[in-house]
Amino acid sequence: MKKASSKEHLRMLKAINAVRENARWKANSAKRHLQKRKLRGHLPETATIKDYERVILTVLQDESAQVFRYWYNRLPYVALTATIQSQIWLVMFSYDGVIESAFVVERPNHYLSKPGFEPIGLLSEVENEL
């Protein structure tokens, strides 16, 4: 597990729990993201926002999910990846629990090695460290 302070892990866990309890999206972005997932074949045409949020919750409840800190414009975000039906889903949200995006990562090794992604550890490790 990457060395991050206990305070940092606590902030990440608070953000994870906030999304688990109430999926909040950036203003006017939920429908746009849902439509994009349908167009890319990540979700069926009949999928609803609730279906999409169930996928997000599944990732956030998977103890084997990989946790990352992602930096964008000097702001940290929480990102988790987990496998759902043979696809690797990434869920990203701010430290205040607002969802930025959730999508299937086509080439995870390439995508997650981009600058900005810092691997932290498994969700179970982050939760149990505190």
pLDDT digits (tens, 9 = 90+) for 37-94: 999 999 999 999 999 999 999 999 999 999 999 999 999 999 999 999 999 999 999 9
> Given pLDDT bands bounded at 50, 70 and 90, which one contains residue 3?
low
Cβ neighbourhood burial of 122 (10 Å; 0-12, 13-18, 19+): middle
List C-alpha distances in Å: 120 to 1, 18, 35, 84: 5, 19, 31, 21
- Domain ranges, ordered by start, for the chain: 6-129
Indicate the pLDDT class of residue 119, thresholds 50, 70 and 90: very high
pLDDT band at 4 (very low <50, low <70, confident <90, very high): low
Q: What beta strand segments (E) does the chain contain?
A: 24-25, 66-72, 75-84, 87-94, 98-104, 117-122
Q: Length of the chain, please?
A: 130
Tokens matching residue 20? 């688990």
pTM of the model: 0.92
Q: What is the structure's pLDDT at 1?
A: 45
Give the pLDDT confidence of 11-40 residue by residue, as tens digits.
Answer: 999 999 999 999 999 888 999 999 999 999
